[in-house]
Amino acid sequence: MKKITYQRWDGSQEPFSLNKKEIADRFFENLFKGMSPGMSLAQMMWEGFSMAGKDFRVMGLEEMVAELEKQKNELLDRYTLEHAFDKPYDELDFAVENENFTRAVEKTAQLPAFNDLQPGLLEKLTALEKITFSDSESQEIYDRWKKREKDIQDLYEFYSEYTHFFTGDEPLDFDQAVELMRQAEALSKLQQQILNGDLSKIDMESMEKLLGENAGESLNILIQLPRTLTDEGIIEKETGRFEITPRGMRSLGELAFGKIYRQLKRDKQGGQLGNAPQTGEIEPDSSRPYQYGDRFDADITRTILKAVSRGRRKGNRLDISPDDFYIREREQLITSTIVVLLDLSWSMSIGGRFEAAKKVTLALNHYIKTRFPKDKIHIIGFSTEARELKEKELSQVVWDVQRPFTNLQGGLRLAMKLIKRSGNRNNRVLVITDGQPTAYYLGNELHAELPNETFGISENACRETLVEVKKVTAQGMNIETFLLDQNPVLVEFGREVARINRGRAVLCVPDELGKLLFMDEIKRRTRS
């Protein structure tokens, strides 16, 4: 287990600064897993995070709550309150005895013995309110404890609530017990504020006193997280909840594509990504900023002007960074329509399948829209039913717990409608799935069935889906199926789809999905 240590900044350490890009990337990683923007923020705040190249770790709320609970338990495990009320009881008992001694000398009426007064220390104090003390010392003792009546009451309530939790044997007198009570109350209050999300109401001085200065700094950073992402234009608050912005969607897609691109660059087969020309293109005079995966055909003039405008100089040298590069843009002459069928059935939650599938879908969406803007790409999510996912929906989509079946037939039907609507002749359907069909339509009636126990196949669902594959094939649409499970029934079904469509089926593990899909995509867009 990795040990995390905290220390006060003394000026010798590198100053801490919040890396906004790193924060954004962490936020996006949670979206890949199917979290909403609000859930992603909550998770980051709850778990905390380390920053690259920094010894300082941002404490998460979970760690703060746990540390507060630990401190409270240490108090309960060490001390006992059995003798906490001995001091006020003994002193008031003495005051009554001393008063009666004075009254005996003065031959006036005696007070009842302290033990004979009302049961309970608070009740005894109340009974003594009616007494006019002749002895000044007794009066002083009574007045002192009367002023502390609230402490006595609070300590009684605290003792009643926690009496069974105190397991220690170190005794505390009244003053020590009150101090412990206030400390425990402060710990509990801070815990509750954190759990309730009342972070802005937390007394920072109290926080740092109980958990240290690092906790205070961490809390400030956590409070700033939503504003940091809002200021960066990644999220915005609509109708009381956080939503991803168009800029955030572009950044999310860029991150997804960048991860796959770097994987391809490490692979020899993916080496053509950075230098291959693209199908159906001519070079115009326009250029744009370089992005992941672009053919590197630099517009030298605009690149130098960009570096100059930013004042990037080192002495007499011009310092050009990757952000300065512009590339010549090519005009796309051949357009196509791509429909991605993303499996949202419950089984996609297993083994990182959904995260990989969502990430590659986001990457492909970004790649097509930024590199081939005249192409059309549609995303269809299918579980028990199929529906088109708009860009913002894609950022938050997760596997469907409520509708867990696999209706590939419905996805193919919708794909045909979208392709016909586009009017393009060059069309493809990409299917990313981990299971054979288990839902289908007969006419307009929806059916769902579990696989047959004997043969491990949903016969009706598979039959009706293959009928739909034949219809897709008749329309001249190519189907590529990426299979994320090695179940023999699924593999055989994928082979049958490929045979009917004369397309292909690719068996792959989640970690390889992005590389395999994009290798194919790039080859298709490369001149032979």
pLDDT at 322 over 90: no
Please give the average per-residue pLDDT across 430-455, as a whole number: 87
Lowest mean pLDDT among 106-120, 305-319, 504-518: 305-319
pLDDT at 48 over 60: yes
Q: Phi first, then psi: give them for residue 242, nearest 5 degrees.
A: -80, 135
Whole-Å CA distances, 302 to 164, 293, 294, 308, 324 = 75, 19, 16, 10, 8
Non-local CB neighbours of 434 within 8 Å, separated by 6+ positions: 343, 345, 347, 348, 350, 353, 483, 484, 485, 490
pLDDT at 313 over 90: no
| Average confidence score pLDDT of the chain | 85
Residue 320 has, within 13 A of its CA and on its CB side, a CA count of 11
Please give the average per-residue pLDDT across 190-201, as a whole number: 89
What is the architecture, at CATH level 2, of domain 333-524?
3-Layer(aba) Sandwich (3.40)
Non-local CB neighbours of 117 within 8 Å, separated by 6+ positions: 96, 123, 124, 127, 128
DSSP 414-432: HHHHHHHHH--SSEEEEEE
Cβ atoms of residues 223 and 217 within 8 Å: no
pLDDT at 222 over 70: yes
pLDDT at 10 over 70: no
Lowest mean pLDDT among 324-338, 372-386, 436-450: 324-338
The pLDDT value recorded for residue 281 is: 31
The three-state secondary structure class of 517 is: helix
Where do the structural domains in the chain lie, given as residue ranges? 20-79+176-244, 86-162, 284-329, 333-524
Lowest mean pLDDT among 80-89, 133-142, 270-279: 270-279
The pLDDT value recorded for residue 310 is: 67
CA pair distance 58, 214, nearest whole angstrom: 8
Question: CA torsion, points 485, 488, 494, 498, in degrees to nearest 10?
Answer: 130
Please name the residue that has the structure tokens 């960074």: 321
CA pair distance 413, 174, nearest whole angstrom: 78
Quick: pLDDT tens for 446-497: 999 888 665 578 899 999 999 999 999 999 999 999 999 988 888 999 999 9
Quick: pLDDT tens for 395-412: 989 988 888 999 999 999
CA pair distance 366, 361, nearest whole angstrom: 9
